Structure 1
Amino acid sequence: MAKTLIAYFSHAGQNYSRGGIRHLDVGNTQVAAEKLHHIVDSDLFYIDTVQKYPEDHMEKIAVAKAEFEANARPALTDRVENMGQYDTVILAFPNWWTTMPMALFTFLESYDFTGKTICPLVTHGGSGFSNALKDIARLCPGATITEGLAINGDDVAHCDRTLTVWLGRIGLV
C-alpha cells in the first residue's frame, strides 16, 4: 500500500511579513504541513536541527547565509524510521537564500529517493522556489518530482483550498 510522508522544516520566531518583522508562534511551513496532514492520509516528520536557529530574524538570516555560503550540512536531531515504506514525500520548507534551508540538503542526502515521488512545497516572502526545485532534482536524481506549490507566508493561514487544488493536480486527493 502506498504511504505518504510529509517532511517539513519550519522556523518560528521573528519573520519578515507584510513589509515588517513580526513574531510567529508557529512557523509558516509548519502551518502548511499540518494543514496538508489533515487533508492527506500521511505521516508527519519535522526536520529539526541539532543547532537551533536564532529567533531574531536578522540573526537567523546571518546564520542561514553563512550556512549557504559554506555549503554546510547542519546535523539533524532525528531520522525517518523506515523511509523505504514511503512512496511519496511531500517536502515542505521555507525559501532561505535562494533555495531550501541547508538542513533540507542534509535531509535529502540522508536517504535514497530512487523510485519515490517528491512533492515540493515552499513558503516564501516573495521569491517562490528560486533554485530549490533544481537543487531537489540534483540531490534526488532517481526521484520523480511533481509540480510544486509556492505559498506566500502571509497567505498560509488561509491556504486550505489552494492546498487541496494542488494535491488534486498531483494526484494525492
Structure 2
Amino acid sequence: MLSRLQDQLQAYRENPDPLAQLANTIALVIAGNQPFYPLYLYAIVGQAAWPSWLTLLTFPLFAVIPAVARRNPLAGRLMLPVVGVANTVLAVKLVGLDTAVELFLLPCVLLSTILFRQTEKRAMAAALACPFAAYFMLDAAVGSPLATYSAAEYRSIINMHVFSVASLFALIGFAFPADTKQA
C-alpha cells in the first residue's frame, strides 16, 4: 500500500518540463513538511505556538502546484515562489519578524530565478517582484505578530528557521535538473 502511494505521488510529481518537475518536487516536499512546522514550534515554545497552525492554510496551494503545472508548466513554476511568499508573509504575521521567518523569502528569490528560462524574463521578473515587495512592505503591512516569545525562545526559533532555510536551499540544489531544456 505504501509503495502504491509512493508511485501515485511520483506520478503526480512527474512533468515533461524539467523545471516544472523541479517546482513540483519542491512544492510537494514543502507540503509534506508543512504540518511539522507547528509541532517544531510547539516543542520550542509550547502552547504559544498556536498561531503557527494557521500556516497550514497554504498547504493546499503547495499541494496543487503539480496539477497546475500539468495543465500549464509556466503557471505551475510561477505559482511556487508566489505561494512561498504568501506563506512567508502569513508566518511573519503569526510569529513575527523577530523570529527571522522572513528568511524564507530567500529561497523564493532563488526559485524566482532558476525556475524560468531566458525566454521567460517577464515571468521571472513578476516572480522576483513578489519576495522583494514582500520584504520591503513586511513591517508596515503585517503589524504586530499574534504571539511573542522569550529571548531564549526567539534564539531557538531563529536557529530552526536558519536551519530550515539552509535545508531548503540544499534541496533546491540537489533536485535541480542537469538539463533544463523542455522535453
**TM interval, short-chain normalised:** 0.3 to 0.5
Which structure has the larger Rg over C-alpha atoms? 2
Higher-helix-fraction structure: 2
TM-score using structure 2 length = 0.34
Higher-strand-fraction structure: 1
